[in-house]
Amino acid sequence: MRPETPERPETPGAGGTIPSTERRAELVELVRRILDGDPEADHCLRLFQANVTHPRAADLIFHPPAHLLDAPAERIVEEALRYRPIAL
């Protein structure tokens, strides 16, 4: 009898994976630090861009579309994670 494997931190989803709650919280913290002008904001931005598939992740923060103007970090992360690349 095989022991049960622990639950994976990421669940397969359409076009990729859905980040776990902890992973989403880490992304929100990165965006908060960027929005607050943290001295490590450049590093936080690179981490954020590397961990979401949205091709214009930085624009969601610095040049947001109308529906994200003055949006909290949670909504920005939500929008970045919602993006799914088109398979050709």
CB-count burial class (<10 Å; 0-12, 13-18, 19+) for 60: buried
In this predicted structure, what is the pLDDT of residue 34? 98
30-47 pLDDT per residue, tens: 999 999 999 999 999 999
The tokens of 83 are what? 């993006």
* Interatomic CA distance for residues 81 and 49, integer angstroms: 11
Low-confidence ranges of the chain (pLDDT < 50): 1-15
Q: How far is CA 62 from each of CA 25, 72, 74, 76, rounded to the nearest angstrom? A: 20, 13, 15, 11
Res 88: pLDDT? 87
